[in-house]
Amino acid sequence: MAKESTHRADELKELGWSSEDVARYAELWDYRQRWGAMNLEREDRQFLRKAEAALPAIVTGKAAAKKATEDKSYYRRLRFYLQAMNEAELALALEENARGAWPILLEEELRALDYYEPVLGLPDTLKAKKFDAVRESIANRASKLADQQGLVVSFDFQAPLNALKAQEPTKWRQLREEDTSADQSYPILNASVVEGFRQEVRAELVPLIRETLPSLAKTDKAAPPDDWNRA
């Protein structure tokens, strides 16, 4: 792990720390560099340790050149929601191989990201907001399918992130925007239609991701084979 040569106040701000705490961290960091930690009050030393523990580790060499896709904030946000939905489905005691439409959507988006490995920096994540409307459209189709081949239950889409924010600072936004999040319909598909729906999602999401994200503009990768997985 590399040691920083200057304070990282901007990173704390990006993590959601208040302006007051960010300024306090920068001031204490500078003081420690000049006069040493022993000259700080115990409370200030504890604050510095807390701030530095919240910062991601500094890496060098190849690891610094390319951060793994699964470590990118956008990817972790999707995986966070997928985990919340998986846990909710376990409590539903669904029929064998029945599956929620939303987890399938997230699984297929994550699979495509694993395959193409976009940069997922600011240009990509800004463009990726277009995916919100696509997910809503596919989920609406899934609700109609679930009415015939499954069931529709309720899921509080706001709750997982609200619970996380109560525990730690995060700048993640909700999976669904405010105008759609009030709808808690959560379509569950019978096993007989899960695979067909998954293939429809792949057919729509894979080219969308490849064509939308700026960092994939010059990719020459074809669509992933049906049997491709990250492992």
pLDDT of residue 34: 85
Residues of the chain with pLDDT under 70: 1-5, 57-66, 178-181
- What are the sequence ranges of the domains in the chain? 9-64, 67-216
Task: Provide the strand spans (E) within the chain.
Answer: 99-100, 150-154, 185-189
DSSP annotation of 182: T
Instruction: Tell me how far the alpha carbon of residue 20 is from its chain's centroid.
Output: 27
Full-prediction pTM beyond 0.85? no
Q: What's the CA gap between 60 and 65, in Å, rounded?
A: 8
pLDDT of residue 2: 41
- pLDDT per residue over 151-195, tens digit each? 999 999 999 999 999 998 888 999 998 666 578 999 999 999 999
Q: CA angle 21-65-122, nearest 5°?
A: 55
pLDDT of residue 4: 54
pLDDT of residue 152: 94
Q: CA angle 201-206-208, nearest 5°?
A: 100
Q: What's the CA gap between 186 and 183, in Å, rounded?
A: 9
Nearest CA to 128 among 139, 140, 116, 142? 116
pLDDT of residue 59: 53
pLDDT of residue 231: 73
Q: What's the CA gap between 206 and 100, in Å, rounded?
A: 20
